[in-house]
């Protein structure tokens, strides 16, 4: 899609400059400058392929420099334990789709699920709030922030400076300000009210005379084939294979794997624009099993969430660098990233990093994880903090 590629050069250029000065300006401008672009879809800064937002800026940044989930890719989110952090990610993803007027297809959940989508804070407001908050954070924990800012741009950077947006943290900050049209902020304590929320399709799990997943797949295919080609689709599969939702025979490889294969075929079909995100409970389907490994092979991206057990609250509290920062709630591992691993993998600096995630009312944040100095050891703590700056520079330059 060459027309879009040309657009990006223009619109980012146009966006970025004003973005530095005023946060609310860029959004209308963008709409005017690229009327043909589909809402919520923008070219990847890495290679220009169209991407769409996951609804969570932090997760977007993690995806191998594309700044979003590339169209046609599927993301598998695995979660250990009984928590539902992955479900929150799915809700952001769905809410973003609703707000962008994309078509959201939810599998196996009743309509109530759609009513629990997080409320829209709105792009502009979010940006304001974010920049305010960021400024505040920056004063107090500059070293921490600097690293964070880099990870958006640095993903693309470091390896191939030629194609990056720029590797300095100021530009990545501009990006996050220019982004709202692409990605919105949501509030988990509110409920989403949006005119197009009624457009969500729910594909229930009901017994049919053909295998369940086959009928689901056919329905998906029919819906997508019958909608106009410019529509972007999001397929949401919460808690896939969870026995409280799915009958037990669905968990057999001969049912699951053809379904995932077909889903992938559907997503990568050049005639439609589809992304998919699904979550799976690892406690029931461990990664060490062949089935889950095959599911990973058949997914474009694989992310594992390992929430901290409740008893380690003490640890996680101390994990916050300052009292103003939310303590991490768990670890996040990236096993596979879309496109990057299809290419051969491994060259992204996000790979192998230890990430921690924090889910708060307004965002799902992913940050590098580091164990803090022991509590009470003020001397070591301040030393550690001053150590961080030079250390980071050594690494980066």
Partner 1 sequence: MPSQPPLPHLLTPYISTPPRESLTAVSSVVGATGNWLILRFLYAALTDAGLRGVEGERKRKVVLGLDLARLTERREFAFVDGLSELFCGPTASAPSRAPSQHLASGPTPRTTLPTRPHPGITSLRQPPPPSAGSDGPPQITKDAGQVKRLRLSGNGAAALDALERDITAVIKQLKASGLGEDEESEVSLIVDQPDLLLAATGPSKGIGATEMAEWIIGLQQAATATVATISADSPLIHNASASAHHIATPLETEHAAFAIGLAHRAEMVMQLRNLETGAARDVSGVLRVSKGGAWGQRDSAGQETWEEKEVLYFVQRDGSVSVFGRGE
Residue from 195, 198, 248, 270 touching partner 1 (CB under 8 A): that is 270
**Toward partner 1, which CB reaches closer, 196 or 215?**
215
Residue 205 as a binder of partner 1 (CB under 8 A): the answer is: no
Tell the smallest beta-carbon distance from residue 379 to partner 1 (Å). Answer: 31
361 interacts with partner 1 by CB under 8 A: no
Shortest Cβ distance from residue 253 to partner 1 (Å)? 5
Query: Quick one: DSSP state of residue 260?
Result: H
* Residue 80 φ then ψ, to 5°: -85, 150
Question: CB under 8 A: which stretch of 115-123, 124-132, 283-291, 307-315 binds partner 1?
Answer: 283-291
The answer to the question of residue 17 lying near partner 1 (CB under 8 A) is no
Nearer to partner 1, 112 or 226 (CB): 226
**Distance separating alpha carbons of residues 274 and 271, to the nearest angstrom:** 10
Task: Say which residues have a Cβ less than 8 Å from residue 297's Cβ, sequence separation at least 6.
Answer: none
Nearer to partner 1, 234 or 336 (CB): 336
219 binds partner 1 (CB under 8 A): no
Cβ count within 10 A of residue 318: 16
Q: Where are the alpha helices (DSSP H) in the chain?
A: 2-21, 26-33, 57-62, 85-99, 111-115, 123-140, 142-156, 169-178, 212-226, 253-268, 290-297, 313-319, 340-343, 378-396
DSSP one-letter code for 12: H
Span between the terminal Cα atoms of the chain, in Å? 36
- Are the CB atoms for 187 and 97 separated by under 8 Å? no
Give min distance, CB of 337 to partner 1, in A: 10
Applying CB under 8 A, among 296, 329, 366, 367 the residue interacting with partner 1 is 296
Distant-in-sequence, close-in-space partners of 390: CB < 8 Å, separation ≥ 6: none
Whole-number minimum distance, CB 115 to partner 1, in Å? 32
Nearer to partner 1, 168 or 269 (CB): 269
List of residues contacting partner 1 (CB under 8 A): 1-2, 4-5, 46-49, 65, 72, 156, 158-160, 162-163, 214, 221-222, 225, 252-254, 257-259, 261-262, 264-266, 268-272, 287-294, 296-298, 302, 335-336, 339, 341-347, 349, 351-353
């Amino acid at each position: 899609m060459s027309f879009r590629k040309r657009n990006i050069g223009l619109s980012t250029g146009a966006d970025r400059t004003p973005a530095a000065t005023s946060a609310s300006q860029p959004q209308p401008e963008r709409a005017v400058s690229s009327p043909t672009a589909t809402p919520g879809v923008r070219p990847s800064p890495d290679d220009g392929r169209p991407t769409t937002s996951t609804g969570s800026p932090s997760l977007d940044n993690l995806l191998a420099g594309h700044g979003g989930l590339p169209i046609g890719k599927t993301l598998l989110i695995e979660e250990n334990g009984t928590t539902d952090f992955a479900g929150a990610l799915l809700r952001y993803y769905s809410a973003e789709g609703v707000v962008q007027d994309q078509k959201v297809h939810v599998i196996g959940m009743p309509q109530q699920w759609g009513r629990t989508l997080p409320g829209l804070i709105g792009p502009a407001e979010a940006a304001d709030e974010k920049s305010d908050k960021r400024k505040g954070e920056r004063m107090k924990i500059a070293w921490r922030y600097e690293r964070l800012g880099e990870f958006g741009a640095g993903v693309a950077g470091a390896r191939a400076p030629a194609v990056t947006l720029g590797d300095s943290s100021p530009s990545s900050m501009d990006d996050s300000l220019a982004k709202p049209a692409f990605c919105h902020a949501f509030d988990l304590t509110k409920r989403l009210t949006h005119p197009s929320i009624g457009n969500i399709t729910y594909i229930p799990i009901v017994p049919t005379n053909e295998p369940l997943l086959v009928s689901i797949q056919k329905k998906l295919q029919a819906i997508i084939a019958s909608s106009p080609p410019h529509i972007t689709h999001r397929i949401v599969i919460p808690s896939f294979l969870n026995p409280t939702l799915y009958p037990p025979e669905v968990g057999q490889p001969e049912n699951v794997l053809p379904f995932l294969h077909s889903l992938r075929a559907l997503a990568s079909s050049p005639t439609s624009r589809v992304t998919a995100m699904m979550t799976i409970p690892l406690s029931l389907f461990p990664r060490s099993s062949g089935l889950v490994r095959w599911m990973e092979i058949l997914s474009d991206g694989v992310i594992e969430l390992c929430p901290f057990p409740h008893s380690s609250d003490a640890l996680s509290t101390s994990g916050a660098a300052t009292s103003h920062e939310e303590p991490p709630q768990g670890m996040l591992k990236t096993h596979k990233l879309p496109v990057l691993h299809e290419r051969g993998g491994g060259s992204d600096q996000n790979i192998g990093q230890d990430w921690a995630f924090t889910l708060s009312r307004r965002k799902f944040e992913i940050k590098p994880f580091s164990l803090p100095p022991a509590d009470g050891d003020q001397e070591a703590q301040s030393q550690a903090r001053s150590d961080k700056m030079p250390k980071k520079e050594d690494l980066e330059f």
